[in-house]
Amino acid sequence: MILCFLAVLMNTQAQGIKNVRINEVLVKNDSNCIDNYGIRSGWFEVFNTGYSTVNLGGCFVTNDINNPKKYRIAKGDASTILAPRSYAMFYAYQNSDRGIFHVNFSLDEKGFLALFDQSGKVLIDSVSYDIAAQIADISFGKMENIADKEAQWTTIENPTPGAVNYTKIEETRAEKFAKTDPHGFIITITCMGVVFLLLAFLGVTFTLIGRRFKRRTERLTAKMETDAPIAQEKSTQVQHNQENNDLIAIAMALHLYFNEQHEDEPTGFYLNRGLNFSNGWSAKYQMFKKSPNRNK
Amino acid sequence: MDFFTIISNNLQQFLSFTGFANVTLGNLIMILFGFLFLYLGIVRKWEPMLLVPIGFGILIGNIPFAPGFQIGIYEDGSVMNYLYFGVLKGVYPPLIFLGIGAMTDFSALISNPKMMLIGAAAQFGIFGAYIVATLLGFNAAEAGAIGIIGGADGPTAIFLSSKLAPDLMGAIAVSAYSYMALVPVIQPPIMKLLTTKKERLIRMKPPRKVSQNEKIIFPILGLLLTTFLVPSGLPLLGMLFFGNLLKECGVTRRLATTAANPLIDIVTILLGLTVGASTQATTFLTPKSVMIFGLGAASFMIATATGVLFVKFFNLFLKEGNKINPLIGNAGVSAVPDSARVSQEVGLHYDKTNYLLMHAMGPNVAGVIGSAVAAGLLLGFLG
């Protein structure tokens, strides 16, 4: 029973790997995606067309039909597990030291690419191409992501590494703009116009605000100048009264002191209160408390 | 296997991990570039706050290493990669703008709002470079990202290139900051070439005193007017005006101090270092980078020239006594306050008592707003 179970499991796994297809290939990479090391190189993408998880670990990829085991995808790494309907990207610049997804061959050597199963004997998928006909940054791929091996290979002007190969090329806004204005004269006139208009509008707004504030400041200054003599007179009077008040206060204090009618200031009250109302957080004595010492 | 063979194998393995085993000619060339930046920053004192972090970043980015240890800036999960995230996703530039806003005094502009137009005219450098870039074969998005170098504003250049042409961001950022440092070298010959001696001696009226209320109203109205028209400039303009409001409102002094000092310093360190480190030889030493450097220089020259020429044109409509000294036209680019300082120095060269600094600060801060608006427009059209 266990043997049957294992056989079924292995068969399922083998079935799963057959659902993997080489989906897109870019041979010449001038301005397309870079790898984790900042390097632009040829790349290819495999796609799990099935609805079960597939482990690529142990499978082989090669660019030489006579050497199917040229590059073995390492086993035992979670990154080789391909979820249903998902993609894996391989970079090809003859540097397999850079991780599982960096193969030890390049795509501009043979014009052939193949994926073999874990035994290295069963061909899963392959593609042949003319190296000389490859154009930089234009990939070729299967335009429909279906399991059918015969799905048509076609050139993809906007490569889609690690994503669905669109059959319909969507133009970016910049590309659309470039079509109507290839040398940028229209965008220059438009943008300079808007920048001028905006800053001119801002300038006019603040000219008006500035004038208003300037008039207000002038009005206030004029008013201050008009009120200046009255204000000065008032100020002198207040100063005079202030001096009188000071003298009266000093006289009263002296009178009370000499007749011993004054009260003693209860200095101790604040200290006592401070200690009485203190707690562990605020009491000063806490700060002077010695750290416990070990008894000798 | 004997003991010595194991030691020998280990040493061989160790040597294969060292930089000496992995070095390429490109790494060495870029390290020389790093030295040049450090020399310009430390010895010549040209924009040291920018050139020293970028120069050191170039050294960091070009130390050869054995791959797979999550060291390089382009390796997923490396520390440098995490720090670079702020550049890639345009996080750092708005934070820098917050600090710039908190540091900038817009009084010179508020007291003489017609200076706004000089700030607008100098933005032609951006679009002039855009036209030349498209003629050289760059696509529209790349040309927009390259053109913004002419705005003379490093954070804006990084912000826009991260959105329009992330692949070219390293070259664009290094080019923008290099030319900002070279403002005192690039601008004076153009200013002298395009002005007469009589024009250089024009004395301008001293700016009026600006009330505190005006200073508070400026960032609020400025934000509303600019971003309603160009919403794509919101990340930069929003932070710029917010920082300025913190400074001017008088009740958030601590926030303004933080934005204008520790925050902008921290972000500048991270930005400079990661931009420098992003110039790995493999991605940086390309013919495109050389073209970007050429276009960057051209855009700075065009911006300076159009600023000066616009003032001369504007003077045709101004009465005697109200005329503007065309030497402040160069300050329309947003390299604050370097280009205003250049106006002052060139002005003093011809008249020892003619101080142009405060007048030049007007178009200079207008240039900051203008370049952010231009970046917003390019993002809106091409993003």
Please report which confidence band the pLDDT of residue A33 belongs to, taking 50, 70 and 90 as the band edges. confident
In this prediction, residue A270 carries a pLDDT of 45
State yes or no: pLDDT of A74 exceeds 60.
Answer: yes
Choose among B72, B109, B131: nearest Cβ to A183: B131
Residues of B in contact with A97 (CB under 8 A): 66-68
Distance from CA of A200 to the nearest CA of B (A): 6
Choose among A37, A194, A214: nearest Cβ to B74: A37
Of A164-178, A272-286, B15-29, least confident by mean pLDDT is A272-286
Choose among A39, A98, A217: nearest Cβ to B211: A217
In this prediction, residue A48 carries a pLDDT of 87
Residues of B in contact with A101 (CB under 8 A): none
Other beta carbons within 10 angstroms of residue B234's beta carbon come to: 16
Which residue in chain B has the smallest CA separation from A201? B225
In this prediction, residue B348 carries a pLDDT of 92
Interchain proximity A194–B230, CB inside 8 Å? yes
Average pLDDT of the residues in B288-306: 91
Average pLDDT of the residues in B175-181: 86
In this prediction, residue A293 carries a pLDDT of 60
Please report which confidence band the pLDDT of residue A273 belongs to, taking 50, 70 and 90 as the band edges. very low
Distance CA B320, CA B342 (A): 25
Interchain proximity A191–B381, CB inside 8 Å? yes
Nearest Cα to Cα of residue B117 among B370, B382, B287, B371: B370
**A→B interface, C-beta within 8 Å:** 31, 34-40, 97-99, 172-175, 177-178, 181-185, 187-188, 190-192, 194-196, 198-207, 209-210, 213-214, 217
Of B364 and A224, the one with more pLDDT? B364
Interchain proximity A184–B131, CB inside 8 Å? yes
State yes or no: pLDDT of A8 exceeds 60.
Answer: no
Which residue in chain B has the smallest CA separation from A31? B167
In this prediction, residue A12 carries a pLDDT of 47
Taking the CA atoms of residue A6, residue A12, residue A15 and residue A21 in that order, the dihedral angle to the nearest 10 degrees is: -120
Q: What value does the mean pLDDT of chain A take?
A: 78
Report CA-CA distances (Å) from A182 to A174, B144, B151, B165. 10, 13, 22, 18
Taking the CA atoms of residue A50, residue A53, residue A56 and residue A58 in that order, the dihedral angle to the nearest 10 degrees is: -120
Query: What tokens does B112 get?
Result: 């003489």
Please state the domain extents for chain A: 14-168, 185-283
List own/partner pairs for B283-291 with CB under 8 A and 24 or more apart. Answer: B283/A34, B283/A38, B283/A40, B283/B74, B283/B167, B283/B170, B284/B30, B284/B170, B284/B171, B284/B174, B285/B26, B285/B29, B285/B30, B288/B138, B288/B168, B288/B171, B289/B170, B289/B171, B291/B136, B291/B138
In this prediction, residue B187 carries a pLDDT of 93
* DSSP character string of A19-31: TEEEEEEES--SS
State yes or no: pLDDT of A166 exceeds 80.
Answer: no
Q: Which site among A93, A171, A194, A206 would you substitute to test the B interface, given the most B Cβ atoms closer than 10 Å to its Cβ?
A: A206
Average pLDDT of the residues in B168-186: 87
Residues of B in contact with A174 (CB under 8 A): 139-141, 144, 164, 381-383
Distance from CA of A173 to the nearest CA of B (A): 5
State yes or no: pLDDT of B224 exceeds 90.
Answer: yes
Please report which confidence band the pLDDT of residue A287 belongs to, taking 50, 70 and 90 as the band edges. low
In this prediction, residue A203 carries a pLDDT of 92
Average pLDDT of the residues in B229-257: 93
Other beta carbons within 10 angstroms of residue B166's beta carbon come to: 13
Residues of A in contact with B120 (CB under 8 A): 192, 195-196, 198-200
Choose among A36, A178, A201: nearest Cβ to B225: A201
Q: Per-residue pLDDT tens for B298-335? A: 999 999 999 999 999 999 999 888 899 999 999 998 88
Strands A60-62 and A112-116, by their bridges, are: antiparallel
In this prediction, residue A268 carries a pLDDT of 44
Residues of A in contact with B210 (CB under 8 A): 210
Of A184-188, B13-17, B32-36, B216-220, least confident by mean pLDDT is B13-17
State yes or no: pLDDT of A186 exceeds 70.
Answer: yes
Distance from CA of B320 to the nearest CA of A (A): 20
In this prediction, residue A277 carries a pLDDT of 47
State yes or no: pLDDT of A274 exceeds 50.
Answer: no
Please report which confidence band the pLDDT of residue B235 belongs to, taking 50, 70 and 90 as the band edges. very high
Of A260 and B362, the one with more pLDDT? B362
Which residue in chain B has the smallest CA separation from A188? B127
State yes or no: pLDDT of A263 exceeds 70.
Answer: no
Q: Per-residue pLDDT tens for B121-161? A: 999 999 999 999 999 989 899 999 999 998 888 889 989 99
Q: State which H helix or E strand residue B145 sits in.
A: helix B140-147
**b/e map B169-196, b = 16+ CB within 10 Å:** bbbbbbbbbbbbbbbbebbbebbeebbe
Q: What value does the mean pLDDT of chain B take?
A: 90
Q: What is the pTM of this model?
A: 0.69
Residues of B in contact with A98 (CB under 8 A): 67-68
Q: Which site among A98, A175, A187 would you substitute to test the B interface, given the most B Cβ atoms closer than 10 Å to its Cβ?
A: A187
Average pLDDT of the residues in B197-208: 89
Average pLDDT of the residues in A49-77: 88
Average pLDDT of the residues in A15-42: 84
Q: Which site among A190, A199, A204 would you substitute to test the B interface, given the most B Cβ atoms closer than 10 Å to its Cβ?
A: A199
